[in-house]
Structure 1
Amino acid sequence: MRERFFRKLIRGTLPLLVWAAHFAGSYVLVAAQCSPAGFAPGSPHRLPLALMTVVALAICAALAWRTRHTFIRGGEETALLDWAAALTALLAFAGIAWTSVPLWFVESCA
């Protein structure tokens, strides 16, 4: 039987990659808005950041929802990869929510 290493690796770490992409994208977007030659002068606009956050949270929630059937149906046969996929989805959801907290308090570019 052929093991699909990279498929399993992505399954276990995809929520963390979504969190990392959200984190990097948030900083890039705010830096682009706050630079002197930015695409939008003035304070950072919250709508693109909020949309990016909602999409990232929805992806992590969908990944966590996809793993729930394993725990409902499973018993002792629940594998470590199933636990990793579920817990990294929850961790990434909390991380994205925590990373987006400054979004609501930023009034202007420094």
Structure 2
Amino acid sequence: MPRTREPFWRRLLAGTLPLLVWSLHFAFAYGLAAAQCTPAGMRPGGPDRALLGAVTLAAIGACAWLAWRAREVPRREDAGLLDWARLVLAVLALVAVAWTGVPLLLVTGCA
């Protein structure tokens, strides 16, 4: 049986990595906001907006980098489903991180 150049799990991780970035950003952002808005951890100004902004920008940068790496997929004739998923999910995760981060950056305090 011929051995492929790239193992399946490595290709699968490359295809799903954008969603992992988004899910980690989502969990961190809402977890931090929930932790800092509990009565025991109440912050005067609400969740730490600088930290949330930095994490959001880092996640947007990671998703943009993943989309940049997948940019050659539409020009390739041998691109498979996993290659297209890598490109589409990178763009989708970029939008999802921005969408998730905007409300958290606008929150001024804990209600």
TM surpasses 0.5: yes
For 1:51, the aligned partner's letter is: A
Q: Which residues of structure 1 form unaligned runs of 5+?
A: none
The counterpart of 2:33, out of the listed 30, 46, 50, is 30
1:7 maps to what in 2? Answer: 10
Q: Percent identity?
A: 50
* 1:57 equivalent in alignment to 2:86: no
Structure 1 residue aligned with 2:100: 99
Q: CA deviation at 1:101?
A: 1.8
Structure 1 consecutive aligned stretches of length 4 or more whose deviation exceeds 2 Å: 69-72
Could you state the TM-score of these two structures normalised by the residue count of structure 1? 0.87
Q: Which residue of 2 aligns with 1:66?
A: 69
Alpha-carbon distance, 1:36 to partner: 2.3
Gaps of 5+ in 2: none
Q: Deviations along 1:11-66, whole A, 9 cap, x unmatched?
A: 1100001100000000111112112222x622222000000100000000000101
Task: Give the count of matched residue pairs.
Answer: 107
For residue 68 of structure 1, give the secondary structure of its aligned residue in structure 2: coil
Q: Work out whether 1:41 is the aligned partner of 2:39.
A: no
Measured on the aligned residues, the alpha-carbon RMSD in Å equals: 1.5
- Paired position in structure 1 for 2:79: 78
- Name the aligned partner's letter for residue 41 of structure 1: R
